[in-house]
Amino acid sequence: MPILLEHVTYRYSEPDDTDPALLDVSLQVPDGEFLGVIGHTGSGKSTLVQLMGGLIQPVTGRVMVDGRDLADRSSRKMLRHRIGMVFQYPEHQLFADTVADDVGFGPRALGIEQHDIERRVTEALARVDLDICTCGHRSPFELSGGQMRRVAIAGVLAAEPSILILDEPMAGLDPVGRTETAALLGRLHRQGLTIVMISHDMDDIAILAERILVLRDGSVFAHGTPAEVFSRSTELREIGLGVPHATRFAARLTECGVLPDDTIFTPETLADSVALALGHPAQGKVI
């Protein structure tokens, strides 16, 4: 489902003299797109995703999801289960005695029939690479950190959303957990989910996102493909953000005259370009 923001402004405290958390943001996320959101602390990322989820309402402007205005209570209610929100450290919201029970919480709250709940729980766990038979009856609190996070994400997927919004889904995970989560998000995206992900990690964003939104002090600083956004590396560094490791490395190689001037942002394209520059055919594989 597409998301549309029209001149959205949001303020946390009432009097107008305070700085708005978001100022006149207009944005379109087409159906099935993977949008990466980056920005400094306090740039308005979390506010933006909460607006997209309908958890808060803009002071001025409109947030439209699937053509419906989220300011309207009935359309919010209708869209609530279609928009899945994964907050920071989602494993902190686990509460039930068993993994299956916790994942089924969303569907139960939506009033879905019992046999359908069981199907959804099995499917949601399978989507995050967990088997209902081996871990469905276990307590979520005896799992590893990475597994707990995947259970929490399964709990959101069980409502079968069309849009998945994630706030720092990889924060605090070990390298294995990060790779697993990144692979999971890539898979979900290929299954047709519209995904909006906040991340501090430029490498994750570069690999996963189709388009990137850069926020600065509540306004849109840049919005475009990874190649477009990361080609402005000097400006990004000026506002306190980095570029992917591959981009930085490629820039050094361009300075040395090894590579032509071209924006590279994934390890694979970097490897391909270097191989090409050295006279070998490209072999990098696409993740």
- Which residue, 85 or 202, is less far from another protein as judged by CB? 85
Assess 53 for contact with another protein (CB under 8 A).
yes
Span 157-216, contacts to another protein by CB under 8 A? 159
Residue ranges in 62-121 that form contacts with another protein under rule CB under 8 A:
80-81, 83-85, 87, 90, 92-96, 105-107, 109-110
Interface with another protein: number of residues (CB under 8 A): 24
- Give CA angle at 4 (76, 194), nearest 5°: 80
Of 58 and 140, the one with the shorter C-beta distance to another protein is 140
Q: Of the two residues 89 and 249, which places its CB atom closer to another protein in the complex?
A: 89
Closer residue to another protein, CB minimum distance, 159 or 246: 159
Structure tokens at 268: 């694979």
Sheet of 34-39, strand order: 83-86, 163-167, 194-198, 34-39, 211-216, 219-224
- Dihedral sign of CA atoms 88, 92, 96, 101 in order: positive
Residue closer to another protein, measured from CB, 119 or 248: 119
Q: Which of residues 215-244 bind another protein (CB under 8 A)?
A: none
Task: Name every residue whose Cβ is closer than 8 Å to that of residue 118 and which is 6 or more positions away in sequence.
Answer: 104
Token output for 249: 């490395």
Q: How far apart, in Å, do the first and last CA atoms of the chain sit?
A: 25
Sign of CA dihedral 103, 4, 30, 40: negative
Residues 122-161 vs another protein: string with x where CB under 8 A? -------------------x-------------xx--x--
DSSP letters, 164-204, are EEEESTTTT--HHHHHHHHHHHHHHHHTT-EEEEE-S-HHH
- CB-nearer residue toward another protein: 111 or 257: 111
State the nearest-atom distance from the C-beta of 87 to another protein, in Å.
Answer: 5
CB of 70 to another protein, least distance (A): 13
40 sits near another protein (criterion: CB under 8 A) = no
Residues 86, 210, 29, 82: is their CA dihedral positive or negative? negative
Closer to another protein at the Cβ: 185 or 212? Answer: 185
Q: What are phi and psi of 130, to 5 degrees?
A: -120, 145
Give the shortest CB-11-to-another protein separation in angstroms: 18
Q: Tally Cβ neighbours within 10 Å of residue 55.
A: 16
Query: Is 21 a residue that touches another protein (CB under 8 A)?
Result: no
**Cβ closest to another protein, residue 96 vs residue 276:** 96
Least distance in Å: CB of 162 to another protein? 14
Minimum gap (Å) between residue 98 Cβ and another protein: 13
The closest of 201, 223, 254, 206 to 26, measured between CA atoms, is 223
User: What is the H or E stretch that residue 115 is in?
Assistant: helix 114-127
Q: Name the site residues for another protein (rule: CB under 8 A).
A: 50, 53, 55, 80-81, 83-85, 87, 90, 92-96, 105-107, 109-110, 141, 155-156, 159
